Amino acid sequence: MLFHFDLKEFQEKVSTQLRPLQRSFQFWVRAADIYTGYKVFQVRASLEKDVQKQEVMWEKQHEVAADKIYNMCSDLGGFFLKVAQIVGKPDLAPAAWVKRLVTLCDQAPSTPYNVVRAVLEKELGQSIDELFEYFDKDPLGSASIAQVHRARLKGDKNDIVVKVQHPGVQELMMTDIRNLQAFALYIQKTDVKFDLFSVTKEMEKQISYEFNFVREAEAMARIRHFLCQNNKKSPVRVPRVIRDMVSRRVLVMEYIDGIPILKLGDEMAKRGIHPDGKLAAAAKQNILKNLSLAYGQMILKSGFFHADPHPGNILICKGSEVALLDYGQVKDLPDELRLGYAKLVLAIADNDPLRASDSYRELGIETLSKCENEQKEMLRLAETMFDTKLPPGVTMLQPFAEESSIKKIAVKAFPEELFSVLRTVHLLRGLSVGLGINFSCAEQWRPIAEEVLYVAGRLTAKDLKQVHRRGASRRRFWR
């Protein structure tokens, strides 16, 4: 019996098995370089007594690090594109980081058309020619998990969008997350007194859901129904799913015409609208107000919400209408956490340190404080973590600076379930800073929080009357 050895097949198998190891090696080499670069620079900067010179030094260091972070996220792709979305926010990261990372939203390499075609035909059980009047071979966009193509079904007049998962992406992304978890454990033991590991565990759970498009289709339909039921007109547009064209790796939905929110300024300039004029300001306020209202209703009333409002998932349609895309990351909050968060929203909106501390305990957020004015810092920490409003005169939050609340109050334990709320609020804050609007989602969400607590028996009619006596002056969100 002859033994047939296929060298090419053997090489492909070995290459596939080695890919996770290669990615892990690349991540650790690059992460160590960025981290040690900052640690060495901290010593150098501390020797410079001139504050202005020190600031210039820090800016240069951030630029060097930004290039390294950009190259790592761009080269590795996959999960690290999501890391870039989280880190590259104008209210959180240094300006140099934001400038570099904001361009990575939809820059994942695309899967070749012949592979896309094979996935589609296997998943849907028919050939592309049988299913579609036309199918654009060039994707509209490619993200970390999937890419989308514009098409039209046979016998239909409206365009649709076909979302197709990149083959083999799940194993690589899980490898990336576990590397990040190990790095998070090291960082929280050495530099940042925050339970980063729990945050990365929740990220692992949430992202694992994104590989099932049947689940995403159900989430999209559920949120669309909820927002339509709770409003005369839904504050945001949710794409309609083409029901009989959904599988684990393929999702077909209606096409929504609009421009990405990151290109809003360019679009206004094309139309001769001054970016700082009244018309632009009104449009931006309307966009943010509707987006934030949708999130307040989803998080507090339903507990089931879209948990990924990064700029790449937001389109602006005619009349400043907002469309919210990509329902791969959704969260279903348990009622106890939903109501506990509603209490925290009221505490932040009312500037009440005592209730903020109580809410933290109810939510299971364990803290350790060594500062003098613990309650005041607890409220500041709540605002930093769970509100979109920036303090007066502040254009960028620096949560890991020496004077920040996170440095003064260590977060020993943070419920994994709450990470999606935290991330969502921070992404909304990043959008508001990007639009040049400083507003408090806690103040906007106050009436919703009051309503859900009243319905749950946590607020009495007397409590509500006292709240309403405070008048409309307390219900201004925009600053």
What would the pLDDT profile of 337-362 be if each residue is shown by its tens digit? 999 999 999 999 999 999 998 999 99
For residues 85 and 105, give the distance between their C-alpha atoms in angstroms, rounded to a whole number.
6
Residues 6+ apart with CB under 8 A from 28: 179
Residue 328, both tokens: 């791969």
DSSP state of 372: S
Residues 6+ apart with CB under 8 A from 40: none
- Quick count: other Cβ atoms within 10 Å of Cβ 91? 23
What pLDDT shows up at residue 105? 60
> Which amino acid is it at 84?
A
User: Reduced to 3 states, what is the DSSP secondary structure of residue 376?
Assistant: helix
For residues 437 and 452, give the distance between their C-alpha atoms in angstroms, rounded to a whole number.
27
Residue 104, both tokens: 């990575």
Task: List, for residues 398-453, the tens digit of each pLDDT value.
Answer: 544 555 555 567 677 888 889 889 889 988 998 888 888 888 999 999 999 999 99
Which phi and psi (to 5°) does residue 250 adopt? -135, 135
Burial class of residue 358, CB neighbours in 10 A (0-12, 13-18, 19+): middle
Which phi and psi (to 5°) does residue 28 adopt? -65, -40
N-terminal to C-terminal alpha carbon distance within the chain: 81
What pLDDT shows up at residue 475? 46
Q: E-assigned strands of 154-219?
A: 159-165
Whole-angstrom CA distances from 23 to 31, 49, 133, 168 are: 12, 41, 40, 14
Q: 234-238 long-range CB contacts below 8 Å, 24 or more apart? A: 234/294, 235/290, 235/291, 235/293, 235/294, 235/297, 235/322, 236/290, 236/291, 236/294, 236/322, 236/323, 236/324, 237/317, 237/321, 237/322, 237/323, 237/324, 238/323, 238/324, 238/327
The stretches in the chain having pLDDT less than 70 are 1-18, 86-92, 105-108, 193, 370-371, 391-408, 410, 462-479
What pLDDT shows up at residue 474? 43
Residues belonging to the chain = 479
In this structure, the strands spanning 322-324 and 236-237 are parallel
What's this model's pTM, rounded to 2 decimal places?
A: 0.77
For residues 35 and 298, give the distance between their C-alpha atoms in angstroms, rounded to a whole number.
38
User: Containing H/E element for 258?
Assistant: none
What pLDDT shows up at residue 471? 40
User: Reduced to 3 states, what is the DSSP secondary structure of residue 311?
Assistant: helix
User: Containing H/E element for 151?
Assistant: strand 146-153
Which residues lie across from 477 on neighbouring strands? Answer: none
Q: Which of 210, 248, 251, 261 is CA-nearest to residue 79?
A: 210
Are the beta carbons of 314 and 105 closer than 8 angstroms? no
- b/e map 178-191, b = 16+ CB within 10 Å: ebbbebbeebbeee
Residues 6+ apart with CB under 8 A from 269: 275
Q: Match 């400038």 to its residue by tokens.
A: 99
Whole-angstrom CA distances from 80 to 31, 72, 77, 317, 409 are: 12, 8, 5, 29, 29
Domains and CATH numbers, the chain: 7-108+171-210 (no CATH), 230-331 (1.10.510.10), 333-477 (no CATH)
Whole-angstrom CA distances from 306 to 62, 287, 295, 315, 420 are: 32, 17, 8, 15, 9
